[in-house]
């Protein structure tokens, strides 16, 4: 029994409480320090799953493609993220549909703070935190190049900041919708990279990703403004209550804090869109430069071919004498007088 209690501490979410409901009591959860133990366990699970995907899928594909070292590293990164984002999109979509967050958008801010969480919502957040924390030791296990480490660390830190922020500030409902939109765009991007590595002439999926990215950014910004700017000010947030696990929600009682969060979100989204536009402009410039170089090469080849044809038609010079194609002189011979 002692070992069973310890095992449950690692495997199952902690801090369950019975909440009165219309059809009886409902078991829900809030957060606490014991969540760190559960996250630690699922970090090891994520490392094992990472190794399985690498060994039985990505390595076999890499042997057939014969990619360079740089492309090999990027292929592995995109392959792992495609598997993770696809799983997360399906899981997150199931959670938001079954919990009714899509059918009733007002539930994103009604009865805030949402201190008590359903089991599947809390478990989803714990697994998300475990995955992005497991990405830190994977930088060493995957032998990522030094040039790539700052970019990947920045990406991991942003995901951890947003997911942990939504979890601790009791914005889990809004966080689920935002993660669904983000992971959907990221799935198309890394899928496009995989297709590009197998066939460098196939960039159609990048165009699909560009459309999905713009749409998801617009939805993301709209949701932030709707929930934080208009929804939460209408709700009477509760005060600090450590016994219930409500440690940070009282911050949203302060209008200055709400506006600061909203301003930071808008600035962040603007920077993301600026980098996206810069990336697309660079892609189009490279595409048009490649097309123009191909046209110039084709025009030069055509001009060279026409020059060869003209030389064959009019003859060519040999030792200062114009000769025809068969080697005879094009000039008529003078007849000798008898």
* Tens-place pLDDT, residues 210-229: 999 999 999 999 999 898 88
Q: Which of 237, 256, 259, 233 is nearest to 248 (CA)?
A: 237
Whether the pLDDT of residue 237 is over 70: the answer is no
Distance (Å, whole) CA 270 – CA 241: 35
Tell me what pLDDT residue 321 has.
53
* Tens-place pLDDT, residues 165-187: 999 988 999 999 999 999 999 99
Whether the pLDDT of residue 338 is over 50: the answer is no
Distance (Å, whole) CA 298 – CA 295: 5
Q: What is the mean pLDDT of residues 6-14?
A: 84
Tell me what pLDDT residue 313 has.
57
* Tens-place pLDDT, residues 31-90: 889 999 999 999 999 999 999 999 999 988 888 888 888 888 889 999 999 999 999 999
Q: What is the mean pLDDT of residues 84-101?
A: 95
pTM for the structure as a whole: 0.83
More confident residue, 30 or 246: 30
Whether the pLDDT of residue 121 is over 90: the answer is yes
In the structure, what pLDDT confidence band is assigned to residue 315 with cuts at 50, 70 and 90? low
Q: Which of 293, 330, 337 is nearest to 315 (CA)?
A: 330
Q: What is the mean pLDDT of residues 237-246?
A: 67
Q: Which residues contact 166 (CB under 8 A, 6 or more apart)?
A: 125, 172, 174, 175, 178
**Total Cβ atoms within 10 A of residue 50:** 20
Q: Which of 107, 126, 116 is nearest to 238 (CA)?
A: 116
* Tens-place pLDDT, residues 244-287: 666 677 777 778 888 888 899 889 888 988 988 888 888 788 77
Q: Where are the domains of the chain?
A: 1-253, 263-300
| Site of tokens 């030094």 | 146
**Total Cβ atoms within 10 A of residue 163:** 20
């Amino acid at each position: 029994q002692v070992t069973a209690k310890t095992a449950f501490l690692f495997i199952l979410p902690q801090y369950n409480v019975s909440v009165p409901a219309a059809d009886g009591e409902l078991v829900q959860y809030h957060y606490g320090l014991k969540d760190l133990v559960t996250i630690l366990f699922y970090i090891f699970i994520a490392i094992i799953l990472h190794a399985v995907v690498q060994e039985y899928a990505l390595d076999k594909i890499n042997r057939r493609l014969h990619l360079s070292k740089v492309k090999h590293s990027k292929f592995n990164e995109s392959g792992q993220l495609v598997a993770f984002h696809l799983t997360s999109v399906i899981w997150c979509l199931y959670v938001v549909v079954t919990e009714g967050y899509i059918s009733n958008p007002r539930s994103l801010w009604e009865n805030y703070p949402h201190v008590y969480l359903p089991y599947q919502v809390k478990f989803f957040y714990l697994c998300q935190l475990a995955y992005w924390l497991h990405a830190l030791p994977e930088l060493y296990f995957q032998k990522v190049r030094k040039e790539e480490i700052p970019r990947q660390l920045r990406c991991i830190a942003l995901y951890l900041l947003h997911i942990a922020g939504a979890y601790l500030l009791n914005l889990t409902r809004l966080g689920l919708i935002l993660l669904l939109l983000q992971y959907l765009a990221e799935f198309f991007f890394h899928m496009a990279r995989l297709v590009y590595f197998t066939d460098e002439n196939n960039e159609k999926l990048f165009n699909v990703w560009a459309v999905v990215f713009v749409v998801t950014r617009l939805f993301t910004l709209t949701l932030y403004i709707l929930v934080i700017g208009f929804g939460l000010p209408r709700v009477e947030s509760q005060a600090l209550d450590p016994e219930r696990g409500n440690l940070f929600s009282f911050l949203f009682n302060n209008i200055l804090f709400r506006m600061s969060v909203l301003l930071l979100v808008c600035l962040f989204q603007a920077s993301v869109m600026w980098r996206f536009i810069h990336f697309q402009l660079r892609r189009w410039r490279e595409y048009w430069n490649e097309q123009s170089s191909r046209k110039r090469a084709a025009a030069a080849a055509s001009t060279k071919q026409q020059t060869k044809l003209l030389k064959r038609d009019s003859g060519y010079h040999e030792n200062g004498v114009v000769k025809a194609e068969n080697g005879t002189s094009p000039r008529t011979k003078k007849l000798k007088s008898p």
